[in-house]
Amino acid sequence: MRPLNDVPVRPGGGFVVYWMTAFRRLSWNHALDHAIALAARHGRPVIVLEALRGDYPWSSARFHRFVMDGMADHARRLAPTRAAYFPYVEPRVGAGQGLLRALAVDAVAVVGDDWPGFFHPRMLSATARLPCRVEVVDSCGLLPLRAAERAFPTAHAFRRFLQGVLPAHLTDMPDPEPLRRLPAGRAEIPGAVLERWPATPLPVLESGLPDLPFACDVPPAAVRGGAVAGTERLDGFLATRLSRYAEERNAPDADAASGLSPYLHFGHISTWQILARLAHAEGWAPDRVARKATGRREGWWGMGRSAEAFLDELVTWRELGFNAAVHLPGYESFASVPDWARRTLAEHAADPRPHRYDLADLDGGRTHDRLWNAAQRQLREEGTIQGYLRMLWGKKVLEWSRTPESAAAALIELNNRYALDGRDPNSYSGIYWCFGRYDRPWGPRRPIFGTVRYMSSANTARKLPLVEYLDRFGS
């Protein structure tokens, strides 16, 4: 927890506001736990404010629908509790301005989500001027954001650090059922606030979308958002795909991936929740982790091979992205690529590009490469790309662009426009991995790439089963 201002807690306030912006869930959430504990300490009820603005970058019906699915879950879940749920979807751009301040006037304190990506840091800094105490809480992953004091250059270096310090944090688990600790007394949202900012009713949350001038004309994906759908996805993964994960996660036709990244990005599901379900399935306890930190991918957790492979993606690679968001200046920019990679790419900047495509061609999947086009179509239709093909997708845009910088800009635009898990610290880790971040020089030296790792569609097609994938997305 860290305070954003020096205003003292107001014991005589009418309620504690939990301002839900990044951890959009009612369990396994350190921020909600803190808000409930603060309310109990002062004998006041809790108001859960979950607002959705209309003018965020890359806004679209796709992202609005996914978030509103979760808001509908919350409206149903909180209706019989003592907490007051205040869902607010802006009916027009800017309509929600002043809402949080109006609640803060009579609040004991405002508790918010400490999330380091997208526009959240700027939004949080603006709350320092609120007329009550503002505290934000980190519930991003297993390791607290500021447990590390620097950015790590490789996954191996971060993994070794993680293995050394994470055991001390594995007992700091958030409450899986925090609503049972709500203090007595039902919260009431001030009438003047509701008159100025009417709560969005459940039928609208369930099926309606505001008529907003979204930044991007992207329709909703078929996948449903929210904690209920995320938990169902987790249960299905553990029951039917985890056993195949280590061997088949890179094979598009095998469908062995978890599909949890959109729910993690929007905070509908927690790493802690996933770990708890996985631990139960594996019969695991924290005392089974290895005592020595080696940085190796396998063997440290004391679980089966597939479970350890999955945890390496969920914990090491995902939280490496959050480490960069906190400790690597400009982590969203091409300048954050390692010196050796920028140098070798610059040395080959004038190399001929046999194929060149502009953003419109890439967006429409109009290249000579059938496999790349299929990955782009999956992104446009489903809001995701199969994990291994996502790496190939990025590498080919580097090969087909005028400069590495323009390639990075195109990838960020396409990913953030269509991907349900885009605009995330982990998204930038994946994109800039294609340019050498968290990697090392590879030989032989190649045109355009220099010593940055090279990938080809032909090699991918030889290695992976793709018949069903190309039948679905390749035409």
pLDDT value, residue 212: 94
Cα gap 41→73, rounded to integer Å: 28
If we measure between CA atoms, which residue out of 161, 452, 142, 176 comes closest to residue 318? 142
> What ranges in 2-59 are assigned the alpha helix state H?
30-42
If we measure between CA atoms, which residue out of 457, 376, 388, 356 comes closest to residue 417? 376
List pLDDT tens digits, range 62-99: 999 999 999 999 999 999 999 999 999 999 999 999 99
- pTM of this structure: 0.97
Residue 192 in tokens? 């003047």
Domains detected in the chain? 1-139 (3.40.50.620), 227-327 (1.25.40.80), 334-473 (1.10.579.10)
List pLDDT tens digits, range 334-382: 999 999 999 999 999 999 999 999 999 999 999 999 999 999 999 999 9
List pLDDT tens digits, range 235-283: 999 999 999 999 999 999 999 999 999 999 999 999 999 999 999 999 9
pLDDT value, residue 460: 96
Helix then strand then coil, in percent of the chain rounded to 5, is 50, 10, 45
Query: What is the pairing mode between strands 133-137 and 46-52?
Result: unpaired
Range 315-319 average pLDDT: 98
Amino acid making up residue 226? G
Neighbouring CB atoms inside 10 A of 69's CB total: 22
Residue 216 in tokens? 């991007």
Classify burial at 318, counting beta carbons within 10 Å of its beta carbon; exposed 0-12, middle 13-18, buried 19 or more. Answer: buried
Radius of gyration of the chain (CA): 23
Residue 219 in tokens? 């329709």
Percent of the chain predicted with pLDDT > 90: 99
Percent of the chain predicted with pLDDT > 70: 100
Neighbouring CB atoms inside 10 A of 409's CB total: 16
If we measure between CA atoms, which residue out of 245, 263, 288 comes closest to residue 388? 245
| C-beta separation of 346 from 356 below 8 A | no
List pLDDT tens digits, range 133-155: 999 999 999 999 999 999 999 99
* Residues 136, 46, 172: CA angle, nearest 5 degrees: 50
- Cis peptide preceding 352, ω within 30 of 0: no
Across-strand partners of 17?
A: 47, 110
| C-beta separation of 160 from 293 below 8 A | yes
pLDDT level of residue 474 (50, 70, 90 thresholds): confident
List pLDDT tens digits, range 394-437: 999 999 999 999 999 999 999 999 999 999 999 999 999 999 99
pLDDT level of residue 475 (50, 70, 90 thresholds): confident
Q: How far apart are the first and last CA of the chain?
A: 50
List pLDDT tens digits, range 187-233: 899 999 999 999 999 999 999 999 999 999 999 999 999 999 999 99
List pLDDT tens digits, range 171-185: 999 999 999 999 988
